[in-house]
A and B are shown apart, each in its own frame.
Chain A
Amino acid sequence: MTKTIAKTVLSLNLNGVVRDDVIPDNLLLVDYLREKASLTGTKIGCDGGECGACTVLIDGRPRHACLTLAATCQDSEIETIDGLSRDSRLTALQRGFNEKLGAQCGFCTPGMIMASEALLRRIPNPSETDIRDALAANICRCTGYVKIIEAVQFAAQALTEGEPAA
């Protein structure tokens, strides 16, 4: 007899596209994104909420995709690094990380950018303390964070000067 695995029909909005998937209840959101939806921008850096590399936005708020069961995201709006740019044009944050050298090996960058994205939507003109506070749950082993803070400041400046967010 075949063993039955508990499953959920998951319906959500992923980077602006409505999807329906049948998924096992024990599937983590990060694995749903990477394996089911083939969006590999979101990274897995640790085994439990310590590094922030898997940060995505769920209904506009930053959350660890590696500590979220996909089946708890029913009817949610999920945004990942893969969906930020539009028409091949980088967002202000992506340009900031590029031009200010906020990314070195790049592994933490998707999480850094999504956490920064949540910050800039909440506080369009953040102080350095605001930036440090908002990125406190994201670890980078390369940059020493100074360049990351400059990248976010670059993006905030570009956005306040009228550049569209995406």
Chain B
Amino acid sequence: MELLSELKLHHPISVEDAVSLHAAAPTGRYLAGGSDLLVNVRRGIEQPGSLVYLDNIAELQSITDAPDQITIGAGVTLRELANSALVHEHFAAVAQAAGEVAGPSHREYGTLGGNLCLDTRCVFYNQSEWWRAANNYCLKSRGDICHVAPGGKKCFAAFSGDVAPALLLFDAEVELAGPSGRRRMALAELYRNDGMDHLTLETGELLVAVHVAKPSVPVTSAYAKSRVRGSIDFPLAGVALRMAMRDGRIAELRVGLTGVSPLPFLAGKLDKFIGRAPDQACLEDLRDAIRSQAKAMKTTVTPPHYRRRVAGALTLKLAQSLAQDLVEASS
């Protein structure tokens, strides 16, 4: 029998209670589905003295529809998100991304909040205690060398959540609750480019909900990922793409990336594609632009150059498919 490190489990029924319980034991963690956190606890990466269990808090569990936006509780499961007709209708890439997370059993209990706050991952970090000990640990946990870039002092562990890049396409906002009250900020501001400390959450802050404004006109979007095993794995690279066309030319283009750096991000410098017809030459230029921005490091057993190429290839495939849909819809 394997007992985890000693901990106290709390069962609050309101967000405010959860925040107070966490504040009383700051070395603790919030626990939702647990498919990320409990693996790390089992491997000795994390040893929280207490866990504040969020599943009994009604406020976190629902998707709410308003005329101009939808609000998705952080405790909504990935299965619910993937199957939501409302989310499909307005934010197809978000529903697709949720449906691509891990395997079906994980999506039964893994939550939106958990996927957005997923710990960064690295082949030198997500290992058993004895494996990490045998390698003198690493910069991210207990060690002082980064095995990915041994000369540096920066951690390159990759953010590997699937849903964040899709939500970034729609300028989603996150609602946070903490000891000093509630606040809202852009989802993009939740992340920083540091594999050791990639979330900008303050101590004791809890992700409560995601607010996404409905686009004023219907928007076409999609998500695709590459992974080692098609049935279950984290993304080697994940691409979310949003496109609109006017008069046969690209009128709007956004590309969100995950799995290739310590944070999910929207690709920059895509203005040059606005006004171009989405022909093969244009979309291959787009592929190359994304490939150059997907600066994957040696954080998986799959080589970085493959992940850069696959980020570009996924972008090309998605863009071709969406452009074709848009052309057919307008004809």
Contact = CB atoms under 8 A, between A and B. Distances in A.
Interface of A: 5-6, 8, 24-28, 31, 34-35, 47-50, 52, 55, 61-64, 66-69, 71-72, 74, 115, 133-134, 136-138
A19 B322 CA distance: 54
B105 to A, nearest CB: 4
A71 B3 CA distance: 13
A26 B44 CA distance: 13
Interface string B28-39: 000100110011
B124 interface: no
A104 B69 CA distance: 52
Interface of B: 1-9, 11, 31, 34-35, 38-39, 42-43, 51, 53, 55, 102-106, 108-109, 128, 231-232
Secondary structure class of chain A's binding surface, majority of residues? mixed
Contacts, number: 91
A133 B108 CA distance: 13
Q: Report whether over half of chain B's contact residues are helix, strand or loop; otherwise say mixed.
A: loop
Nearest to B49: A6
Contact of A52 (B11, B34, B53, B103): B103
A62 B289 CA distance: 42
B106 A137 contact: yes
Given A26-B6, A47-B42, A48-B43, A69 B34 contact: yes
A26 B104 contact: no
A47 B108 contact: no
A24 B231 contact: no
Nearest to B127: A47
Contacts of B35: 49, 64, 67
A137 B105 contact: yes
Contact of B108 (A24, A63, A136): A63
B3 A24 contact: yes
B150 to A, nearest CB: 27
B231 A136 contact: yes
Contacts of B8: 6, 25
Contacts of A27: 3
Given A25-B8, A31-B1, A67-B35, A115 B43 contact: no
A134 B3 CA distance: 30
A25 B31 CA distance: 13
6 contacts: A5-B6, A26-B4, A47-B42, A64-B105, A69-B31, A133-B104
Contacts of A66: 42
